[in-house]
Amino acid sequence: MKIVLALLIFGFFMSTPLAADDFEFTRIEMSFKNFITCELTRTDAVNHFNGKPFKITMIDLFDIQSESDIKIVSGAVECFVVDKHLTLYTAVGLISIMDKEQVVYYTIRNKDFSILATELIKFPYKERCKWSQYRIDID
């Protein structure tokens, strides 16, 4: 009986909007971290680090906001380049197509910035890394 009651209580709390919001945030955070890692290691990261070897030490999701039909995800990436730390700031614009999120805009800069959809639209994204493919990092 105690097990059934515990399962009912657990099920109730898992079905609340708070749990759904936490799940959604965690899902977006994992996708963001994997996407940024992919972009920096598979594409033109040479430009950001002047061809020097680098190691990503931290990726932090700052904000998720919506403007019109664009979801804007912004954050920072801390990298260790040769003998110093470098922080890059990034923003990703997502739209939903047939219930799947797709990256349509992406920018990364070495200075912090507040991002608006109109500014982000200047940086269209040609798909190199998929948003929806993410892995769980247990570290």
Q: Can you give the pTM of this predicted structure?
A: 0.75
Q: Encoding tokens for residue 113?
A: 């910035």
Q: Tell me which DSSP letter residue 64 carries.
A: E
The total number of structural domains in the chain stands at 1
Range(s) of the domain holding residue 67:
30-120
User: What is the pLDDT at residue 125?
Assistant: 92
**Distances in whole angstroms, Cα of residue 123 to Cα of each of 40, 91, 97, 109, 134:** 16, 10, 19, 12, 23
What's the CA gap between 41 and 55, in Å, rounded? 9
Q: Is residue 104 one of the residues assigned to a domain?
A: yes
The CATH number for 38's domain is 3.10.450
Residue 8 falls inside a structural domain: no
Position 60 in a domain: yes
* Residue-level pLDDT at 74: 92
Q: Looking only at Cα atoms, what is the longest distance across the chain?
A: 64
- Residue 49's nearest CA partner among 84, 91, 92 is 84
- Mean pLDDT, rounded, of the chain: 79
The string of pLDDT tens digits covering residues 48-94 is 777 788 888 999 998 899 888 899 999 999 999 888 898 999 999 99
